[in-house]
Amino acid sequence: MFAIAYQAVYFIPQIQAILEFFVSDIFSEVDEEVRKDKSLQLWKKYGNFVIGGSILIVAATAAVVGWQNYRQSEATAQGDQFYEATVFLADKKFEDASAAFADLAENGNDGYRGLARLRQAEALMSAGKGAEALDVYDALAADSEVGKEFSSLARILAAYYLLDNGSTDDVRSRVEGLTEPGSVFFASAQEIVALSYLKDGNRDEARRLLSALKEDAAAPQGVKARAEEVLKAIAEG
């Protein structure tokens, strides 16, 4: 069981041109709609790519933290319960996995609370119950009894979900405060905010944020590479 958990950790590899000044209001409105439409096309083309890569990074971080908690735990029965719930998830028994993780989060020790809630939300997402998963993320984000890494990660994952299933204001509110250097997930949070502006059609702000991210020495290489790819796509129109 320890070998399987170790392998799981080890192998989890993380949006124009300026408007002409002397144009009529009606043409400005038309141009704005066209610009937003192009930005949405760009989002549809690159959004899943960026989100997918980012989730790999945050999921890997969650797995590492979870593995550390697992090793520190002396409750073998809870370890077995967590493993069984993980098997349910791997076997696509999402309802069973969600219930098992929820029970562990409710009745297990504090070392399992954060990780079990994250995996519960993952199972709900896989079952097509995104709204329920979002509730779990939000509850975890507000839980003062879990480590900051777990509550911050819950906010990040909720924001990823809302990029395609909520308003961009909701997206940005979830990661408010996480974009500051020094925050555990600052690069992912800034990437999310940039994508939300891209989806809004605000390419200038998206470009500004992505450019800063690309030049940030502290940002993970994968995040910087994705920022560069989206910046190229914006430049190509």
Domain positions in the chain are 41-236
User: Buried b / exposed e across 106-133, counting CB within 10 Å, b at 16+?
Assistant: eebeebbbbbbbbbbbbbbbbbebbebb
In the chain (237 residues long), the average pLDDT of successive 10-residue segments reads 36 31 33 47 55 53 55 66 91 95 88 88 94 96 89 93 94 92 87 94 94 91 89 86
Helix 148-165 vs helix 186-200: crossing angle, to nearest 10: 20
What's the length of the chain? 237
Q: Please tell me the predicted confidence (pLDDT) of residue 101.
A: 93
Q: Please tell me the predicted confidence (pLDDT) of residue 9.
A: 36
> Topology of domain 41-236, per CATH?
1.25.40
Residue among 119, 145, 149, 147 at smallest CA distance from 133: 119
Q: Please tell me the predicted confidence (pLDDT) of residue 68.
A: 54
Residue among 148, 143, 176, 175 at smallest CA distance from 160: 175
Q: Please tell me the predicted confidence (pLDDT) of residue 58.
A: 56
For residue 145, give both structure tokens.
């009894």
pTM of the model: 0.70
Rounded Cα distance, 138 and 134, in Å:
6
